[in-house]
Chain A
Amino acid sequence: MAERLSLPELPYDYGALEPAISGEIMLLHHQKHHKTYVTNFNNALQQLEDAVSKSDASAIVQLQSALKFNGGGHINHSIFWKNLAPVSQGGGEPPKGSLGNEIEKEFGSLEALVHKMNSEGAALQGSGWVWLALDKEFKRLLVETTFNQDPLVTKGSSLVPLLGIDVWEHAYYLQYKNAKADYLANIWKVMNWNYASEVYEKECP
């Protein structure tokens, strides 16, 4: 039997990212939304195992969208909690080292990268994510977007997520209402560049 997913713990308190992201949002986002993805994925996985044991091709195929959506939701949010950090733990501090250099090289400056990601996030219609991605094959950085809960790999199998920003409305609505641009501007204050640097240095030593 395949191992069931479980909800990862948040590496900080729910209120630790204030005022950029409210404690109320973090609580709901983690304990309701993320938890629901985990639960529904596990249910779909159970149904998949049943279908596989009966060789029920039709059921196997029908379960794909639920697996993709809920599995993607779990993958994306697990990364998201790690790529945010309270200011006291280094949130918002700009990247140093090789990642910082690479950003300057690829985008000109950190501001340019932030501007690009914010524009893409603002322009995204509906629900989705904005990513700072590393193409590990070509060792290049790029900005990508995915819809709904599609993980970054759906845009390219060699893409590794360094930072993700959730632009589903549930990620900001209670605090920012329809002012998505304000949410995007503020989230950089709690961005955990340490995590991004770690992932980058692992892939590009």
Chain B
Amino acid sequence: MNLLSCSSNHCPLSSKVLASTSPPSKILKSSVRVRNLGWGERRDNMRNNRRVSKVVAYYGLKSPPYRLDALEPYMSQRTLEVHWGAHHRGYVEALNKQLAKNDILYGCTMDELIRVTYNNGNPLPEFNNAAQVWNHDFFWESMQPGGGEMPTLGILQQIEKDFASFANFKEKFIEAALTSFGSGWVWLVLKREKKCLAIVKTSNAVNPLVWNDIPIISLDLWEHAYYLDYKNDRAKYVNTFMNHLVSWNAAAARMARAQAFVNLGEPKIPVA
């Protein structure tokens, strides 16, 4: 924006700029009067929305919590560049375009936006973009360099409680991923009502937030997530995710937060 063209008459810089940059032979005849506005005038301007610049904020593309080559050789830098840099970015930009045209949705938080646009199973056009922005943020954070192996402490205990053993959970998770048709996601969620962990499959952009459950880990099963690295070998991708990518640290943090909302059992009160 060219300050010289600023039409606001309480733009404090404009007269200074005029004075300092215009050569003597071109002093503008129409001067921009800068004066302090009285309280009443400022109030009226605000009310009438006159010459008050509106502040708007849109979603940005959040970076994964590691460098794009940090997950090699299990997930290549090339995949991150395209998946994050093109797909994820595309969803963010598309969502922002839609929100610019819809004041009500613009005013929602991301969680609200997802729930509202899901529309109880009859999703509005904004749902796909909103949910996929959230899903991918969550997915990058569900992985870490040096991931895989086993969870520890509280989250391990909860897994053993709800799945009998970690090995059983891992088997069930992989099975869910391999019996998923088409594009979608597999989740480890904490179910609010049942107060237990469960494995959930969703298609396209749907995520457990729409059922008010708390996601703990996710795995992207859209082909774009693994095709460059594994081509059609989804099984290899899923196993690699479990063995080398999944971030149990992130899962533990999410679990800890979830316990503020879901009572998972009586606290262990020492006897004496």
Residues of A within 8 A of B (CB): 28, 32-33, 36, 65, 69, 125-128, 147-149, 168-170, 173-174, 177-178
Smallest Cβ distance from A21 to chain B, in angstroms?
15
B128 neighbours in A (Cβ, 8 Å):
125
- A170 and B223 form a contact (CB under 8 A): yes
- Assembly CA distance A170 to B204 (angstroms): 15
Instruction: Tell me which residues from 203 to 257 in chain B have a Cβ below 8 Å from any Cβ of chain A.
Output: 203-205, 222-224, 227-228, 231-232
Q: Which residue of B lies closest to A65 (CB)?
A: B181
Contacting B184 at CB < 8 Å: which of A33, A126, A168?
A126
* Known contacts A126-B182, A127-B182, A127-B183; A168/B223 CB under 8 A: yes
* Known contacts A28-B232, A125-B205, A178-B82; A69/B227 CB under 8 A: no
Q: How many residues on B have C-beta within 8 angstroms of the other chain's C-beta atoms?
A: 19
Smallest Cβ distance from B272 to chain A, in angstroms?
54
A148 neighbours in B (Cβ, 8 Å):
181-182
Contacting A169 at CB < 8 Å: which of B86, B184, B204, B223?
B223
Q: Which residue of A lies closest to B87 (CB)?
A: A178
Residues of B within 8 A of A (CB): 82, 86-87, 90, 128, 181-184, 203-205, 222-224, 227-228, 231-232
- A178 and B224 form a contact (CB under 8 A): yes
Q: Which residue of A lies closest to B222 (CB)?
A: A169
- B90 and A178 form a contact (CB under 8 A): yes
- Assembly CA distance A97 to B203 (angstroms): 42
A65 neighbours in B (Cβ, 8 Å):
181
Smallest Cβ distance from B115 to chain A, in angstroms?
19
- B223 and A177 form a contact (CB under 8 A): no
- A32 and B232 form a contact (CB under 8 A): yes
Q: Which residue of A lies closest to B128 (CB)?
A: A125
Query: Closest 3 interchain pairs by CB?
Result: A169-B223, A126-B183, A148-B182
Contacting B181 at CB < 8 Å: which of A28, A149, A170?
A149
Smallest Cβ distance from A103 to chain B, in angstroms?
29
B82 neighbours in A (Cβ, 8 Å):
177-178
- B181 and A69 form a contact (CB under 8 A): yes
- Assembly CA distance A126 to B205 (angstroms): 8
A28 neighbours in B (Cβ, 8 Å):
231-232
- B227 and A170 form a contact (CB under 8 A): yes
- A173 and B223 form a contact (CB under 8 A): yes
- Assembly CA distance A69 to B182 (angstroms): 9
A69 neighbours in B (Cβ, 8 Å):
181
* Known contacts A28-B231, A33-B232; A126/B224 CB under 8 A: no
A126 neighbours in B (Cβ, 8 Å):
182-184, 203-205, 222
